[in-house]
Structure 1
Amino acid sequence: GMGFACLYQAAAVMTAKRCRARLAFCNALARSGMGLTFLMAPFTQLLIELYAWQGTLLIFGGIMLHLVPSSMLLWPVSTHLPRESAENQRWAKKDPETPGGSLDGSTDRELQLHPAQEAPTTERLVMPRGRDGSDPANAWGRLQKPTLESSCSETPTEAKRSHQPPAAPPKEPSQPLLDFSPLKDPVFFIFTWSFLFSHLAYFVPFFHLVARARTLGMSSRDGSLLIAVAGITEMLSQLLSGWLADHNWTKKYHLHVTYLLLCGVTNLLGPLASTLPLLLTYTVAFATFCGGFMALVLPVLVDLVGVEKLHSYLGFAAFFAGIAAMGGPPLAGWLYDYTQTYVCSFLFAGACALISPISFFFEPSAQKWKLKKANL
């Protein structure tokens, strides 16, 4: 669980930083693999029959080890130093205060005036004798002398300033390891409310769908078929939802709210499905709307808070959502133990899905409050 949590967090942030133009579709493409895992339900049963649960876990562990080379491909967005920073490093190496250093990179030996080399140059100068009858070479020396004196008259501070490299650009302030600023943002609570209740309901139908099929007299193979259909449908729904969201016909959280409402209504109608065709219809509808809102979780959060602090907001929100995901199926199981029917489990999932998008109706007010606070 810890490994998958760290992997998801890093992959989500890297996806948001690299794929801004098509973020919804890229995130849906990355998450669509979760739908394929439900296709492994019949395959898992076959592996258990052949290799027992010990061998099955070894096979799954080998498959998951492929995440190591895959994660090594998640390089930072830019691995090269800025050009200005590289120039400043070269200036620092050629600082005139260091022995043998100078402004243009030449050494003191190169800057010394060699009389043997300058004599031919001064001899070739053809200059008329001045009014005072002085030699042209002496006149040339008098012209050079004030320049040397003026250069020597500079104070050490001025000389040091003139030979210093350009100032380095200001560094970005380092972000703290634990940033608690999201806990002061009302937008965070709006998103976390929805994230928590949606995950409270997300796993309940998948856990109890097969059990309900058995109580209706269906075989375990029919239950595996329902899970496989749910996985394929959710995968396709995520891709379609991401593709639609990237067209920006409306705000992404509007689509997110719509999918959650439809998912809640579908779960409330789930107990009416008492035959295999009706259960298949419910499975397709539920997986379609469930995949739709799951594909937009990350794009909605990016639209609300931006990419800069995405890791902090997503980390805290995923913490609360993880607690809800662990608590949803046990709560639904307790309802079954109390009522001896799975009807209440699906009603519980539908109610949580309907409660989930309520917080988004306060999103415009929260944004206005943040803007007003920023202008103070």
Structure 2
Amino acid sequence: MGKGRGKGKHGVGVDSMPTPPDGGWGWFVVLGSFLLHVVADGIVYSFGVFYMEFLTYFKGGKGETAWVGSLVPGVTFLVGPVTSALTNRYGCRSVTIVGAIIAAVGFILSLFAPNIYYLFFSFGILSGLGFGLMYLSAIVSVSHYFESKRSFATGIAVCGSGIGTFIFAPVSNLLVDEYTWRGAVLIEAGIILNCILFGVLFRPLVVKHENADREYDEEKGKQEEKEKLMKKPAESNGVQYTDQQGDLPDIQKTGTKDTLAIPNKHLQNLILQNDTNQLFRSEGAINNIASKTLSASPSKQSFNRQTSTQSHLTPSSGPMYREDIFYSGSLINIPQYRSNPNLFITSITSLPDVIPDDQDQDWCLFRCLGLSPEMRDAIRQMMDFSLLKDVIFLLFTISNICTSIGFNMPYIYLPDRAHEVGINKTDATFLVSVIGIANTIGRVVFGWMADKPWVNRLMLYNTSLFICGNATALSPLNDSYPFLIGYAAVFGAFIGVYVGLTSVVLVDLLGLSKLTNAFGLLLMFKGLATFIGPPIAGWLYDGTGSYNIPFHVAGTMVAIGGAMLYAIPFVQKCLGRKPPTDEIELSAPREEEMKPLSA
């Protein structure tokens, strides 16, 4: 079995996981994800238009008003683990629909805002929660439908973010001019509700059981099979249960110890093979047989705890049970997938390791909230803080925190900065559109480059952030409109790497088995950093009366976030760590595996 492959308390067999079609209805899923990115990201990243209106209407400070804009993306990232749990339990379609409704309600409630603090809850927290539910579902839904074509499909979907920013910046400005900010917010609430239709396209994949599985289930349910399995010929020194046809393992009871003697051919069935259904079909058969034949045994509970029988094999097809669900690149770039796709998928389709009963008490909140097994497993995967002990991941996390502090600065402040130096409002708003279209081009180009074997993706990631940060830090040197357009284009193109290549670089550094855990923790830290970034810049303006210092600070933080990652190869060398390979082991049974299994 592959490294990192485990089974959780509420296990799932590979045969219960749907096979991504790499096309078909998947292209409608891509369309829905693309349109959802257009609307959600387009509205979020065009907040700079509303920021100028809120400053005028509520007469608040720039730092205070910036909280509204920072809360939306901050909450969107911060609720990532919760969204993953809900998606694992209820599916992408349901979570997206609920998210669209919540975001729209948040916008509608903002119409009644008497002060800026009211908008913190309605426009910031409530709408951010809705966008967070939609954001993660839009990513997961595409990955759930694609494997070999995933990079191309994901690239199309996320391009909606840049296109949406390009469209909604002037549209929001037009709506504000025609209907004031309240009318614009109401109209955009109606646009958000269209995401319900996009979410409907996220049709869940259906598990298609093989004929052999159905035949086995039918035979298992027959009364004559039950009678044969429960038949117990008496002996003087104990009880022996024997399979008359030689197809089932012999289960013997001697004294107080139960012994499950599995013949050689049954052990061979337990070896992971190219047929991904075979492993769990054979294991399930033996476990079910064992549980039935030992039903009268005094040591039944002990045996069930060690073999994790029927409850362990409860079928589920939650997308979070795939370790590669957040991987945005094509799986064909992974050598193990190219050599044996079925075997690779088997190795990455897993649950968290079994949690001992004494340690499980730490998660008593799960039981208090009545969370389902799927939700518990997803949260455990994404919120395992032990990964912070990894120096490489800790360095990458600090880099992401620095970058997130300066990431949203241009989206919020660039229009107001341009307007202050005498550029008319329409042209100032167009700077955000430039960021959006450049972002789309950058994601396509850098995504294509990242798939090439001759490209060092970590260096591409580092260098892009370093360039983006320096451009932001140096942008106050000139406030002419052509210069600002050039800055917006550079920022938009290179900042796309921050979102598009994060999961790919994580896999290069940590391996695929740790991606879900790393991605969940990163979302949380990025959300916290996004909370404080724009308000800090606003307070710096309030204290200095100029946007120069805020842009210097924000750009320096992004540049530091990129520069510090250049040290990762050196740290890896000092630690003696080799790049993760996610090897898949396929071995023959050893002699000790041929011995009877004792309970």
Same fold (TM over 0.5): yes
Q: In the alignment, residue 276 of structure 1 is paired with which amino acid?
A: Y
Q: In the alignment, residue 88 of structure 1 is paired with which amino acid?
A: Y
Q: Which residue of 2 aligns with 1:30?
A: 157
Q: CA deviation at 1:282?
A: 1.5
CA distance in 1, matches of 2:466, 2:133: 30
Q: CA deviation at 1:204?
A: 0.8
Matched ranges for 1:146-161 at <5 A:
157-159=241-243
| Residue-pair matches, total | 321
**For structure 1, which segment, 273-282 or 67-76, has the greater mean C-alpha deviation from structure 2 after superposition?**
67-76
Question: Structure 1 pair 240/372, CA: closer, same or farther in 2 (3 Å)?
Answer: closer
**For structure 1, which segment, 170-179 or 254-263, has the greater mean C-alpha deviation from structure 2 after superposition?**
170-179
Q: Which residue of 1 aligns with 2:555?
A: 350
Q: CA deviation at 1:37?
A: 3.0
CA distance in 1, matches of 2:481, 2:513: 48
Q: Are 2:278 and 1:169 equivalent residues in the alignment?
A: no
Q: Are 2:184 and 1:56 equivalent residues in the alignment?
A: yes
**For structure 1, which segment, 355-364 or 335-344, has the greater mean C-alpha deviation from structure 2 after superposition?**
355-364
Q: In the alignment, residue 35 of structure 1 is paired with which amino acid?
A: G
Q: CA deviation at 1:83?
A: 5.9
Q: Which residue of 1 aligns with 2:217?
A: 89
Q: Deviations over 1:258-313 (max 9, x none)?
A: 10111112112201122111111221122221224332223223433445543332
Q: Which residue of 1 aligns with 2:436?
A: 231
Q: CA deviation at 1:63?
A: 2.2
Q: Which residue of 1 aligns with 2:490?
A: 285
Q: Are 2:168 and 1:40 equivalent residues in the alignment?
A: yes
CA distance in 1, matches of 2:388, 2:216: 39
CA distance in 1, matches of 2:540, 2:159: 31
8 Å CA contact 2:409–2:533 kept in 1: the answer is yes
Q: Deviations over 1:88-115 (max 9, x none)?
A: 323312363436x89xxxxxxxxxxxxx
**For structure 1, which segment, 344-353 or 35-44, has the greater mean C-alpha deviation from structure 2 after superposition?**
35-44
Q: Are 2:393 and 1:193 equivalent residues in the alignment?
A: no
Where does structure 2 lack aligned partners over 5 or more consecutive residues?
1-127, 230-238, 250-265, 267-280, 285-312, 314-348, 353-376, 583-599
* TM-score scaled by length of structure 2: 0.48
What secondary structure, in the 3-state scheme, does the structure 1 residue paired with 2:226 have? coil
Q: CA deviation at 1:84?
A: 5.6
Q: CA deviation at 1:23?
A: 4.7
Where does structure 1 lack aligned partners over 5 or more consecutive residues?
103-154
Question: Structure 1 pair 259/173, CA: closer, same or farther in 2 (3 Å)?
Answer: closer
8 Å CA contact 2:421–2:479 kept in 1: the answer is yes
Q: Which residue of 2 aligns with 1:123?
A: none
The RMSD of aligned alpha carbons is 3.3
Matched ranges for 1:254-333 at <5 A:
254-333=459-538
CA distance in 2, matches of 1:357, 1:222: 31
Q: CA deviation at 1:254?
A: 1.6
Partner of residue 338 from structure 1, selected from 538, 543, 550:
543
Question: Structure 1 pair 237/190, CA: closer, same or farther in 2 (3 Å)?
Answer: same
**For structure 1, which segment, 177-186 or 336-345, has the greater mean C-alpha deviation from structure 2 after superposition?**
177-186
Q: In the alignment, residue 551 of structure 2 is paired with which amino acid?
A: F
8 Å CA contact 2:459–2:566 kept in 1: the answer is no
Q: Are 2:417 and 1:212 equivalent residues in the alignment?
A: yes
CA distance in 1, matches of 2:473, 2:443: 22
8 Å CA contact 1:88–1:168 kept in 2: the answer is no
8 Å CA contact 2:173–2:429 kept in 1: the answer is no
* TM-score scaled by length of structure 1: 0.73
Q: Deviations over 1:335-360 (max 9, x none)?
A: 11121111111111211111112443
8 Å CA contact 2:469–2:559 kept in 1: the answer is yes
Identity of aligned residues (%): 29
Question: Structure 1 pair 240/156, CA: closer, same or farther in 2 (3 Å)?
Answer: same
CA distance in 1, matches of 2:453, 2:204: 28
What secondary structure, in the 3-state scheme, does the structure 1 residue paired with 2:565 have? helix
Matched ranges for 1:116-135 at <5 A:
none
Q: In the alignment, residue 37 of structure 1 is paired with which amino acid?
A: G
Q: CA deviation at 1:35?
A: 1.7
Question: Structure 1 pair 23/298, CA: closer, same or farther in 2 (3 Å)?
Answer: farther
Q: Which residue of 2 aligns with 1:9?
A: 136
Question: Structure 1 pair 24/299, CA: closer, same or farther in 2 (3 Å)?
Answer: farther
Q: Which residue of 2 aligns with 1:137?
A: none
Q: CA deviation at 1:255?
A: 0.9
Q: In the alignment, residue 169 of structure 2 is paired with which amino acid?
A: A
Q: In the alignment, residue 9 of structure 1 is paired with which amino acid?
A: L
8 Å CA contact 1:24–1:299 kept in 2: the answer is no
CA distance in 1, matches of 2:215, 2:519: 37
8 Å CA contact 2:162–2:439 kept in 1: the answer is yes
Larger radius of gyration: 1
Q: Are 2:380 and 1:178 equivalent residues in the alignment?
A: yes
Question: Structure 1 pair 270/322, CA: closer, same or farther in 2 (3 Å)?
Answer: same
Question: Structure 1 pair 223/314, CA: closer, same or farther in 2 (3 Å)?
Answer: same
Q: In the alignment, residue 59 of structure 1 is paired with which amino acid?
A: I
**For structure 1, which segment, 273-282 or 39-48, has the greater mean C-alpha deviation from structure 2 after superposition?**
39-48
Question: Structure 1 pair 244/174, CA: closer, same or farther in 2 (3 Å)?
Answer: closer
